[in-house]
Amino acid sequence: MVLAVKNPHNPVEYATRISCPTLLFFGAKDDKVSKREIEEIFENLTGPKELKIFEEAGHENFLLNYESEWTREVQQFLEMNR
């Protein structure tokens, strides 16, 4: 007998419990997380939030591959959310 196991990992639902300032990065060419899912996560965040989309990125390390843009975005976000 094989039982189907539902994936308990639900970032869209988790986001409803996050109220601290959140900077969310997304790669537009991500093949693991859809734009719809990232938008739902973003909408469910309850605190100050910002979504930065890297148009040429996939599901990858933004700091390693887009260091100057990543650094600028993080610095600006931290300045605005002191």
Q: What is the per-residue pLDDT for 68?
A: 97
Q: Looking at residue 39, what is its pLDDT?
A: 97
Taking alpha carbons only, the member of 7, 59, 12 closest to residue 39 is 12
Q: What is the pLDDT of residues 37-78, one digit of tens each?
A: 999 999 999 999 999 999 999 999 999 999 999 999 999 999
> Which pLDDT value is given to residue 3?
58
pLDDT of residue 5: 60
Domain boundaries, the chain: 11-80
List b or e across 17-50, with b for residues whose CB sees 16 or more CB atoms inside 10 angstroms.
Answer: ebeeebbbbbbeebeeeeeeebeebbebbeeebb
* pLDDT value of position 51: 98
CA distance 44 to 16: 5
Question: In the prediction, which pLDDT does 2 show?
Answer: 58
The pLDDT of residue 8 is above 90:
no
